[in-house]
Structure formats: structure tokens, C-alpha cells
Amino acid sequence: MKNLINRFVKDESGATAIEYGLIAGLLSIVIIGALQLTGTSLEGVFTAIQDSLDSAAIGGS
């Protein structure tokens, strides 16, 4: 029984899995934040392109 408890205490495989889970969670938060910032910038670019195309279509008619 003592051998079983010692083996359980020394087993670090669960700790490794938790660490990988924390790293994955932090990376996902960083990626989501970066995509939100990039999405806002891209929205402005596409709006400018749309405005240019609209004015060209009106002027070209």
C-alpha cells in the first residue's frame, strides 16, 4: 500500500497534462485577441474598398 501511494505521489503525468491545457488556453486567448484586432483593421480596409468601388460605379455610369 505504501508503494502504491509513493508511486501516485511521484507520478507527474497529470501535472504535465494540466500544464499543456493551461498553455493551450492561454494561446487561444492570445489568438482570439489578435483576430479581433485584425478583424477591426480589415473591416476598415474593406469599407474603403467598397466606398471606392461605389464611387467609381456612380461616376462611370
Please give the Cα distance from 48 to 55 (Å, whole number).
11
Please give the Cα distance from 27 to 44 (Å, whole number).
26
For the cut 70, the answer to whether the pLDDT of residue 61 exceeds it is no
Q: Where is pLDDT greater, at 55 or 13?
A: 55
Calculate mean pLDDT across residues 34-53. 89
- The predicted-structure confidence for 9-31, as pLDDT tens digits, reads as follows 777 777 788 899 999 999 999 99
For the cut 70, the answer to whether the pLDDT of residue 60 exceeds it is no
First vs last C-alpha separation in the chain: 88
For the cut 80, the answer to whether the pLDDT of residue 8 exceeds it is no
Please give the Cα distance from 52 to 61 (Å, whole number).
14
